[in-house]
Amino acid sequence: MTDMIAGFPTPILSFTHPYYDKFKDDLIEHIYEAQSKEDTVFRSNNGGWQSKERRLPDRFAEYIFSQTNDALSEFLDRDFDVQIGNLWYNINQPGTSNDRHTHPGCDLAGIFYVKVPEGDCGQLELENPNHFSQFNLLMAMNEDLKQESRCSHSLWFTPVEGSTVIFPSHILHRVMTNNTDEDRISIAWNMRLVDK
């Protein structure tokens, strides 16, 4: 039997925050209050509202980032830590999306899903960084093997309320259209890897 080794993988972390329901309503109210006080910033958002860079209030940051640090501590060598960089809020109203983009100048990008309506509210697409150079190979691979090894042109993540996805910031990504009648809300931020 031939073994296939999935060499040079791209590490992507995904985890759910327990007890999110204890501060969910306060966090949603805080983000809508921020939206009421400032116009959108135009970056990757195709419609919708994106805040200016901001600091997450301690009552939320303590919880979200402690869970993030716990997850990253299992992933990173003990000699390294993460430093939180710029952070912003996203409100994707019905019919809005985020265009393909990267986050230059940092090592990791994080997304925390604050409010996720039921239905097709827009999946996160992470594009394979080898998409162009391996196009023919990816098209020709056995479909079962592709699924098992996650060798594909893109990976798709369905938003889960109270969960976080972390990925290398150079990965081209986008958020598909929110096809529900409610807002999808997320918090995004960048991280640098630093020596302890």
Q: How far is CA 149 from CA 69, 112, 144, 145, 167, in A?
A: 27, 26, 9, 6, 17
More confident residue, 142 or 26: 26
Residue 1 has pLDDT above 80, yes or no: no
Q: Find tokens 């509210």 and name the residue.
A: 121
pTM of the model: 0.92
- Please return the burial class of 77, using the count of CB atoms within 10 Å of its CB with bins 0-12, 13-18 and 19+: exposed
Q: Which domains does the chain have, with CATH numbers?
A: 13-124+161-195 (2.60.120.620)
CA distances from 129 to 39, 44, 171, 174 (A): 33, 19, 6, 14
Residue with the bigger pLDDT between 144 and 90: it is 90
* Tens digits of residue pLDDT in 91-150: 999 999 999 999 999 999 999 999 999 999 999 999 998 878 888 888 888 888 778 878
pLDDT in tens, 42-53: 999 999 999 999
